[in-house]
Amino acid sequence: MRLTSPYSLFSRSLEMMALENPLRPLIHDPYRVLEEMGVRAGATLLDIGCGSGYIAIPAAEVVGQAGHIYALDNDGGKLSRLKRKAERRGLKNLTTILTDAWRINQLNPGTIDVALMFFSLHHFEKKRESLRMAWEKLKSGARLFIFEPIKTRMAGHGTDAGEVLRASAEEGFIHISLRTGLLTYRLELLKP
C-alpha cells in the first residue's frame, strides 16, 4: 500500500482547485495563450498533459474542422471530462489519448504543427523522455511551448527553466524565447 503524506494530499487538493477554478481565465486566458502561440485554423496541435481540456477545448474551436487536436493525459477521469465537454460543444476535431507523455505511440512521427505542455511537465515521471517524444511527433519547423511554475517559487512544485532548456537543447530543440513571470515561465522551442 502506498502512503500519501498530508502535504502531498493538500498540495494536490490546492492544484485541483486552481485547475478547475472559474477565475483561472483571468490569469491564463486559453484563447490568448493560443493566439500568442500562433495557433490558427487548420493546425494540428498536441496538448501533452491536457487534463480536463483547459487548452484543448478552446484549441479545437480555434483550429476548426480543418485542424485537429490530440489531447493526451494519463488520467482517464480527466480525459472523460474532456470528452463530455467536447461533445457538449459539438467538437469533432479532438481525439483523446490515454497514455504517458513519454509513450505517445498512437501518433506518427513528424505530424504535429505545434505541441504544448501547459503546466504539466512537472508532473511527468520522465521529463527528458517526454521532451524527446514531443520532438519526434513535431514536424520540422514546428514549435513546442512549455508553460510551467518556477520550481523555487512554488515550494518545489514546478521545474527549473535552466534544466528544461539544457535538456531540450540536448534533444535537438532550438531555444526561441523564455518569458519569466513572478511565479511561472513560458518557454518556446523550435524543431529545426
Nearest residue to 58 via CA among 38, 37, 29: 29
Using a pLDDT cut of 90, give the percent of the chain over it.
78
Tell me how far apart the alpha carbons of residues 87 and 84 are, in angstroms, rounded to a whole number.
Answer: 5
pLDDT digits (tens, 9 = 90+) for 144-188: 999 999 887 555 678 999 999 999 999 999 999 999 998 899 999
pTM: 0.87
| Model pLDDT, residue 27 | 67
Q: What 3-state class would DSSP assign to 163?
A: helix
- Cβ-based neighbours of 109, under 8 Å, separated by 6 or more: 136, 137
Q: What 3-state class would DSSP assign to 45?
A: strand
Enclosing H/E stretch for 32? helix 30-37
The dihedrals phi and psi of 88, each to the nearest 5 degrees, come to -60, -30
With beta carbons less than 8 A apart as the criterion, state whether 155 and 128 touch. no
Q: Which domains does the chain have, with CATH numbers?
A: 29-190 (3.40.50.150)
Query: Does residue 119 or residue 17 have the better pLDDT?
Result: 119
Task: Count the Cβ atoms, other than its own, within 10 Å of residue 53.
Answer: 27
Question: Could you give the count of Cα atoms lying within 13 Å of 21 in the half-sphere of its Cβ?
Answer: 14
Assess whether pLDDT exceeds 90 at residue 131. Answer: yes
pLDDT digits (tens, 9 = 90+) for 101-118: 999 999 999 999 999 999
pLDDT digits (tens, 9 = 90+) for 17-32: 455 666 655 567 999 9
- Cell numbers linked to 101: 507523455
